[in-house]
């Protein structure tokens, strides 16, 4: 009761605050007394059964794919560790096939060639049964055969043609020799004889010299062969080489008129013609030009023809 004596009115019962839903952003309400609402349960209620079933199937498939990838990586790692990684063989291309065929043919041809060479080398299937000698004149066939030293019946491949040619070229009258195999059974020897250019008298008789200054024969000279006047004729003697250079440069009609060539030195070559006329040649400089001028000068009358200076040839 109050001091005034009135009865106090009964107090109204306290009302409980309403339950508010949890904010979507996950933040708590201002009051700590508001209970939390599970967001996942709320989303599941909103999705519906079909959408939830599809989402679960997608999650299961993704989990299964991850598991499969992990298992494959694990197996590949084991194979690499054990060295059992096997790559699939690549098919051969057309170019590789052609290369293998070519290599096979080359091997076959090589084997056949070696076998054939052995047969020809060690058996008389292709042996020297005849000698053919060409180019001989002053040199006789017997001289060539004796120098060649080839035994008939020897397999052609066993005959060293270079050695045979060197032996034949050792004959004094032979300038060069060539030896060839002519299958199945012939050996051909071709020689080039030395040609006399000048002659010189010696106590044992006249010696013939070719264009290189080689004394290759002691025999009577051919008619009209010029004599050479030098102190020491030979292939290494400079005056001899100068005189022979002049003789080989002259025109054939002029050579036929020369009876003697003298060369006391390389700078004083002179020619004596068959009719007594003299040609002053001088050095071997401009030899070809001097030979042309001399051919023209000899058509003029005179005793001495000087072509030592081809720019000013003179006739006396």
Q: Convert the pLDDT of each residue in 67-87 to its tens digit.
A: 888 888 888 888 777 765 445
Tell whether the model's pLDDT for residue 92 goes beyond 80. Answer: no
Give a yes or no: residue 138 inside a domain: yes
% of the chain exceeding 70 in pLDDT: 78
Domain boundary among 169, 193, 217: 193
**Nearest to residue 243, comparing CAs of 266, 226, 225?**
266
Tell whether the model's pLDDT for residue 265 goes beyond 90. Answer: yes
Confidence category of residue 237, pLDDT binned at 50, 70, 90:
very high
141-177 residues labelled b (16+ CB within 10 A) or e (exposed): eebbeebbebeeeebbbebebeebbebbeebebbbeb
Residue 243's pLDDT is what? 97
Domain boundary among 167, 193, 219: 193
Residues 170 and 271 occupy one common structural domain: no
Residue numbers of the domain that contains 151: 127-193
Tell whether the model's pLDDT for residue 281 goes beyond 80. Answer: yes
**Look-up of token digits 């197996």:** 75
Widest pairwise Cα distance in the chain = 198
Give a yes or no: residue 82 inside a domain: no
Q: What is the CATH number for 209? A: 3.40.50
Confidence category of residue 24, pLDDT binned at 50, 70, 90:
very low
| Strands ordered across the beta sheet of 205-209 | 215-218, 205-209, 198-202, 227-229, 258-262, 269-273, 278-282, 304-306, 314-315
- Packing angle, helices 238-249 and 287-297, rounded to 10: 50
Give a yes or no: residue 287 inside a domain: yes
Domain boundary among 136, 169, 193: 193
Confidence category of residue 28, pLDDT binned at 50, 70, 90:
very low
Give a yes or no: residue 7 inside a domain: no
Give a yes or no: residue 91 inside a domain: no
Residue 112's pLDDT is what? 81
Give a yes or no: residue 273 inside a domain: yes
Residue 35's pLDDT is what? 46
Q: What is the CATH number for 185? A: 3.10.20.310
Residue 19's pLDDT is what? 47
pTM of the predicted model, to two decimals?
Answer: 0.62
Residues 281 and 294 occupy one common structural domain: yes
Tell whether the model's pLDDT for residue 141 goes beyond 50. Answer: yes
């Amino acid at each position: 009761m109050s001091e005034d004596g009135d009865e106090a009115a009964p107090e109204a019962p306290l009302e409980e605050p309403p339950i508010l839903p949890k904010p979507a952003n996950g933040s708590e309400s201002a009051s700590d007394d508001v209970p939390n609402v599970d967001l996942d349960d709320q989303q599941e209620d909103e999705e519906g059964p079909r959408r939830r079933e599809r989402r679960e199937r997608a999650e299961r498939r993704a989990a299964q794919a991850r598991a499969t990838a992990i298992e494959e990586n694990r197996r590949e790692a084991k194979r690499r560790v054990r060295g059992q990684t096997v790559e699939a063989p690549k098919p051969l291309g057309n170019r590789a096939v052609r290369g293998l065929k070519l290599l096979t043919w080359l091997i076959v041809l090589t084997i056949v060639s070696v076998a054939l060479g052995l047969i020809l080398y060690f058996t008389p299937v292709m042996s020297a049964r005849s000698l053919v000698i060409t180019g001989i004149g002053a040199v006789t066939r017997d001289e060539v055969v004796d120098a060649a030293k080839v035994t008939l019946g020897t397999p052609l491949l066993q005959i060293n043609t270079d050695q045979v040619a060197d032996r034949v070229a050792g004959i004094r009258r032979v300038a060069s020799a060539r030896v060839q195999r002519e299958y199945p059974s012939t050996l051909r020897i071709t020689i080039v004889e030395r040609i006399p250019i000048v002659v010189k008298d010696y106590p044992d008789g006249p010696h013939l010299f070719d264009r290189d200054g080689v004394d290759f024969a002691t025999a009577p000279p051919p008619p009209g062969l010029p004599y050479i006047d030098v102190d020491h004729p030979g292939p290494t003697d400079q005056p001899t080489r100068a005189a022979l250079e002049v003789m080989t440069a002259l025109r054939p009609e002029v050579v036929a008129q020369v009876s003697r060539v003298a060369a006391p030195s390389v700078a004083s070559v002179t020619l004596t013609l068959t009719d007594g006329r003299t040609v002053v040649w001088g050095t071997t400089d401009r030899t070809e030009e001097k030979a042309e001028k001399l051919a023209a000068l000899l058509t003029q009358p005179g005793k001495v023809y000087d072509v030592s200076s081809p720019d000013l040839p003179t006739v006396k």
